Amino acid sequence: MATKSKILFIGGTGYIGKFIVEASAKAGHPTSVLVRDSTLSNPGKSNVIDNFKNLGVNFLILVEQDRIIAAIKEAGNVKRFFPSEFGNDVDRVHAVEPAKSAFATKANIRRAIEAQGIPFTYVSSNFFLAISFLL
């Protein structure tokens, strides 16, 4: 029987990530998700967190992204890194503030990944948006 890959998700409680994390855990992969401490106590994320706990997902507290990239490089055994892209190709988008700054941060992460020679895939599936209305 083939062994399952260990998978670490960064930002796995978000709009799309929560579905990918759930699918990974249900497929039997040892699944971990890096989260901010505040995410674990966020009432708006409690259903997602509880679902992950029931699926056996391991939680790790998120540190600065530059340190994550350095840890990936040091470990030397990461097969593929998929950074969060907000659905856009951040190297080609022409945005205004505040999105412009957010995309610039994502582009800087890309450059750091590339400079370290980490295997990566950028997924740009066009812009998506989740809007919640309070009535």
**Among the residues of the chain, which ranges form H helices?**
17-26, 37-40, 46-54, 65-75, 99-116
Per-residue pLDDT reduced to its tens digit, 3-40: 888 998 887 898 888 999 999 999 999 999 988 888 99
CB 15 within 8 A of CB 130: yes
Tokens of 87: 């659905």
Summarize the chain as % helix, strand, coil (round to 5).
Answer: 40, 10, 50
Q: How far apart are CA 110 and CA 120, in angstroms?
A: 9
CA 13 to chain centre: 8
CA dihedral 128, 112, 119, 70 (to 10 degrees): -120
Per-residue pLDDT reduced to its tens digit, 49-74: 999 999 999 998 876 777 888 888 99
Is this structure's pTM higher than 0.75? no
**Catalytic annotation on 106?**
yes
* The dihedral sign for the CA sequence 52, 20, 93, 69: positive
Task: Identify the residue with better confidence: 84 or 121.
Answer: 121
Percent of the chain with pLDDT over 70: 89
User: Which of these, 34, 118, 5, 124, lies nearest to 69 by C-alpha position?
Assistant: 118
Domains of the chain by range and CATH? Answer: 7-116 (3.40.50.720)
Q: How far apart are CA 127 and CA 92, in angstroms?
A: 12
Catalytic residue among 6, 18, 26, 106: 106
Per-residue pLDDT reduced to its tens digit, 91-106: 888 888 988 888 888 8
